[in-house]
Chain A
């Protein structure tokens, strides 16, 4: 059998195998190894080891355990719950105020981290308990957290854009500038969607019951200050040092852990048992996430080695289509491939094949890259192979994966809407880089 065909069959097998209900990391690993073994023989074992070693030495992913530990410390100390409660008090009668809080936090956090994993888990750890307690709709909560979390890889800094720059031949810093407005647009769409849905149907994000609302604003503001002050300290210690250019996100994650630890311990909110709990939870969720990243990278590597993506892309590239039709076709292909695959093989293998066509048609490369980036975002939100769903499930185990899928799918549609807006208004991407 042709290796390329085998790769496509592998995609199908993966999509089905995931539903068997065995831990996904092992399913992904086994499907990759079997598919690779049939096509390549025992060398796939070496490929598995090499891919694992590269995740084990990835300094960007190393931020994940740090952000997790920080998140668990904040959660265990009760600070986050207090903060989110204060926000609800402040917005007393507003429906869905926690969604707004999540999206705003996610957007700020996205400006500090370049990956999805750390955003989703930190938001999940911090916000999910409050959302559950306040009777928020599970699906929409899960959707807001996963969608908000994926902003981490679009709003600069972004590892995806760092990888895409040298592939397209445009400086990553230009792509960073181009992604700012689309990123904010998405954040706005996410927030607006939540607020409108809640306005129509209060059950999705109930306002605080009358008897729980504050009588006067003053105690709320005081409480908010007390609740916020420690969080501000932590944010300054982490986000601040990243944004001020003092340290990388991973560096800042470590500093943030120390700051959070000192803060929570000195304020008497910690005990040995709680710390141990944080340590073991960080271990468990880190293992879950990073093993998934490892095996999905392995799947992508085997898929690239088989050349299936090349085959499809080369075929499409050979079609005699006008540039705009070709552009839409390319985005459609990327969207579809994003269902079973993560962004890495798509950026590395598929994008370069279409690049000559894009260049020949005189299509702006920055605009093209931004379209690709926003389309690739959907890969994080398209079930069943959607790592952000698993990340969230890891920190919010009471939520059913089906509900998380259902929630994130709604936001995936918003993402598609954003791609269409970007197609109609290229200035969303090209304006900021042009004044740079």
Chain B
């Protein structure tokens, strides 16, 4: 294999590693999510003493959970495709189609999340915006920060996927084949 290919694979491996770590951190958010809502149910319905924070806490965690997990899902090929034509193509063709789609469909999408999402986060941060859904009136910026962060994580994972595409186009063989972990 040529140096270029090896370099691309090395870059891809590094990014995949970062994404795996981010996924491992985000995944465990489901535990506090479950526990805070379960605690609320017990507090509200059994002890008649509801908290003011548990609902908001759960929904903030839920929103962050699926958004931040989307790059990990991309890495594991967990975002569903219609595979009827795709599966029949050679690896090279698959990679060429993917490369075009990353360029024209994927990056514009993630770029918007990164840039416009950042603007929303920044406004929420400097204006000290609050959630009005409960008397807790929680600050919104940590929640809003997940928008640009999702855009960023997706974008770098996209770079890794593009590296894999380029190698696959050259070799007509997907490198670092990830099994679909489902």
Contacts and interface: CB of A to CB of B under 8 A. Distances in A.
Interface of A: 18-27, 29-30, 33, 45-46, 48-49, 52-53, 55-57, 59, 61-62, 65-66, 69, 241, 246-247, 250-255, 257-258, 279-292, 384, 390, 393-397, 400-402
B82 A25 contact: no
Given A21-B82, A65-B30, A251-B40, A45 B66 contact: no
Contact of B66 (A22, A65, A401): A65
Interface string B54-76: 01001100111111011011101
B78 A284 contact: yes
B23 interface: yes
B82 A18 contact: yes
A69 B106 contact: no
Secondary structure class of chain B's binding surface, majority of residues: helix
B45 A284 contact: no
Contact of A59 (B59, B67, B144): B59
Which are the 3 A-B pairs with shortest beta-carbon distances?
A21-B86, A56-B63, A23-B79
A131 to B, nearest CB: 16
Interface string B19-42: 000011011101101110110110
Given A30-B106, A57-B63, A286-B65, A23 B116 contact: no
A49 B117 contact: yes
Chain B interface size range: 35 or more
Given A30-B108, A257-B34, A283 B72 contact: yes
A280 to B, nearest CB: 5
Interface string B142-182: 01101100000000000000000000000000000000111
Contacts of B78: 284-285, 287-288, 394
Given A49-B112, A53-B144, A402-B84, 5 more contacts: A21-B97, A30-B108, A57-B63, A284-B76, A286-B66
Contacts of B27: 279-280, 282-283
B7 to A, nearest CB: 26
A281 B72 CA distance: 11
Contacts of A284: 23, 69, 72-73, 76, 78, 181-182
Contacts of A252: 41
Contact of A22 (B64, B65, B98): B98
A21 B81 contact: yes
A305 B6 CA distance: 48
B49 interface: no
A26 B109 contact: yes
Nearest to B20: A280
29 contacts: A20-B97, A23-B79, A23-B80, A30-B105, A48-B112, A48-B113, A49-B113, A49-B116, A49-B117, A49-B120, A53-B63, A61-B62, A62-B58, A65-B33, A253-B37, A254-B35, A254-B38, A254-B58, A280-B24, A281-B181, A283-B27, A283-B73, A284-B23, A284-B72, A287-B67, A287-B69, A287-B78, A288-B79, A397-B182
A286 B69 contact: yes
A246 B45 contact: yes
Contacts of A69: 30, 34
Contact of A280 (B23, B62, B74, B79): B23
Interface of B: 23-24, 26-28, 30-31, 33-35, 37-38, 40-41, 45, 55, 58-59, 62-67, 69-70, 72-74, 76, 78-87, 94, 97-98, 101, 104-106, 108-109, 112-113, 116-117, 120, 133, 143-144, 146-147, 180-182
A366 B110 CA distance: 43
A23 B148 CA distance: 21
Contacts of A59: 55, 59
A254 B39 CA distance: 9
A247 B84 contact: no
A41 to B, nearest CB: 13
B81 A401 contact: yes
A61 B59 CA distance: 10
Nearest to B106: A26
A291 B63 CA distance: 11
A56 B108 contact: no
A340 B131 CA distance: 34
A304 to B, nearest CB: 20
A283 B23 contact: yes
A21 B182 contact: no
A283 B26 contact: yes
B95 to A, nearest CB: 12
A258 to B, nearest CB: 5
A24 B78 CA distance: 11
Contacts of A45: 112, 116
Nearest to A397: B182
Nearest to B29: A283
Contacts of A280: 23-24, 27, 72, 181
B84 A19 contact: yes
A409 to B, nearest CB: 14
Contacts of A23: 74, 79-81
B38 A255 contact: yes
Contact of A254 (B34, B65, B74, B82): B34
Contacts of B23: 280, 283-284
B79 A26 contact: yes
B114 to A, nearest CB: 11
A46 B109 contact: no
A283 B82 contact: no
